[in-house]
Amino acid sequence: MSRTVKDYIRSIADFPHEGIVFRDVTTLFADARGFRMAIDQLLHPYAGVRIDRVAGLEARGFILGGALAHQLSTGFVPIRKKGKLPGTVISEAYQLEYGEAVMEIHDDALQPGERVLIVDDLLATGGTAEAGIKLCRRLGAEVIGCAFVIDLPELGGRKRLEEMGMPVHALCEFEGA
């Protein structure tokens, strides 16, 4: 029986809080066959599409984004939590379940007209990805899509991004929060 990407993902109950089931992609990353499968499947919809940069959302998006950028022979751009990037940055705040967070990108990371693919491991509410899209657009880049390993459809992230006109590609779904 052949395995799917979802088969490589470990579920951990009650982490980081009671009642939460954490979807752990480190088991996917640790398996050479599973990791290769995920990278190949994340790239598949973009075969033949011009992508100038891959932007990874902190932190697991860096692992995926670096591998995708390598496969595409293009550059990688990190979108980080506030205070993590040296140099001049632009910032975008977004809402969390309890409070607010801020994502940042270097102000010279992208050039106007560059075509960017945004990558992360998990799509939940879509707040982090939305902040990433807005940052890229503020620098004049065109975000051509967002790619994720996991979608949690009940949390509404896909709908949120699609309402922004953003194509969303996810390799698997898990029910629940």
pLDDT per position as a tens digit, 79-94:
999 999 999 999 999 9
- pLDDT at residue 177, rounded to an integer: 61
As for how many domains the chain has, the answer is 1
User: Among residues 18, 97, 100, 175, which one is catalytic?
Assistant: 97
Catalytic residue from among 60, 80, 115, 158: 60
Element (H, E) at 134: helix 127-138
Domain span at residue 151 reads 49-173
The residue type of 83 is: G
Q: Under a CB-based contact definition with an 8 Å cutoff, are residues 72 and 43 in contact?
A: yes
* Domain harbouring 122, CATH code: 3.40.50.2020
| 114 is known as an active-site residue | no
pTM above 0.75?
yes
Active-site residue, 36 included = no
C-alpha–C-alpha distance, residues 107 and 89, integer Å = 5
| Mean per-residue pLDDT pooled into runs of 10, the chain (177 residues) | 95 92 97 98 97 98 98 98 97 87 98 98 96 98 98 96 98 87
